[in-house]
Amino acid sequence: MVAWTFPFSHPKCHEMETRGFRLTCLIPRFCILLLLPWVATAQRKLPAIFVFGDSLSDAGNNNYIRTLSKANSPPNGMDFPGGYATGRFTNGRTTVDIIGQLAGLTQFLPPYLAPNATGKLILNGLNYASGAGGILDSTGYILYGRISFNKQLDYFANTKAQIINQLGEVSGMELISNALYSTNLGSNDFLNNYYQPLSPIANLTASQVSSLLIKEYHGQLMRLYNMGARKVVVASLGPLGCIPFQLTFRLSRHGECSDKVNAEVRDFNAGLFAMVEQLNAELPGAKFIYADAYKGVLEMIQNPSAYGFKVVDEGCCGAGGTYKGVIPCSSLFKLCPNRFDHLFWDPYHPTDKANVALSAKFWSGTGYTWPVNVQQLLMS
């Protein structure tokens, strides 16, 4: 049996023997909070988990396409089990990785494009997320290759056919309807589309962009529902005006977040929340939940010491400007002295430690998800 270790945690956190994953705890009671749900879920059959999204959830799909958006070189992944770069845009695990662990998964979900993502392995779920991917097909064009949400849904349709081929129609659809689905999309539609000078939607107002994105997203989630999905976590956008890239681009003087960008994000998130309400009201058997990443991340920025952070306005790995907010992480750049003090790993993405805190809020917290948390969704 391999230990879950707590190598960067509070001194009173200690090692505990269980299933072979690393978990960063912030304070002792937080260690207990994260482990208790695992004990409960380990006693029952686990559902499959299917993940859609962008670089916040990408487990390595971009390793298999021609793109400028890659994270498959060190020091990315240095705190991932095994200590190697997997294509995840962080020093360790993504939020969906951690939620999978809390749900009781014994292995991380493979990326859909990986050669081994075939056969019985797909019955546990797959990850379709792609760095630079977005709700709109045009999103991420400046980074060349990416997998849009529409394409990710095409891939899931292929997976569904493979599952039914293996299990038969009845058992296959039972697996699909009982599975957990996660989506986090929209950040790139602003950062790598609307905010770019040659964007095909640059002529729209921010409010018009939000309306366009919500309309498209609604249709995409309807397609996912029509393919059999019922339990779906829809993550909001985080406070994009606070990420090191925007602090640099908007010439923040003292690390102040961009009020303009955050206001536009809140407008989108309000539409997203209303969309989740509408889907639950209109679709029989639908159990969509809204996960408030904006609130969860902003709390860490506004009260960093409560989460063990000292630096919330600068990436640990990257280059460019005061906040290391221009060029993503690579082995060419000097790493920050203590990455566990940092909320952000690079110009865009949280550290493993931040992802642990956010995952706990989504998994069993109150006030960060609506109408229930992820643990309750799984048990419903």
Q: Is the dihedral of CA 85, 88, 92, 97 positive or negative?
A: negative
Is 55 an annotated catalytic residue? Answer: yes
Q: What are phi and psi of 285, to 5 degrees?
A: 80, 0
Inter-helix orientation angle 169-178/149-167, to 10°: 140
Is 267 an annotated catalytic residue? Answer: no
Catalytic residue from among 9, 54, 55, 292: 55
Catalytic residue from among 54, 79, 292, 346: 346
Q: What are phi and psi of 66, to 5 degrees?
A: -85, 110
Is 154 an annotated catalytic residue? Answer: no
- Residue 221's alpha-carbon distances to 76, 81, 279, 305, 380, in angstroms, are 31, 33, 9, 37, 20
279, HSE (Cβ side, Cα atoms, 13 Å): 31
Catalytic residue from among 349, 352, 359, 364: 349
Residues 47, 124 contacting (CB under 8 angstroms) = no
Please, where are the H alpha helices in 56-180? 95-103, 149-167, 169-178
Residues 279, 288 contacting (CB under 8 angstroms) = yes
- At 32 the three-state DSSP class reads helix
Catalytic residues: 55, 346, 349
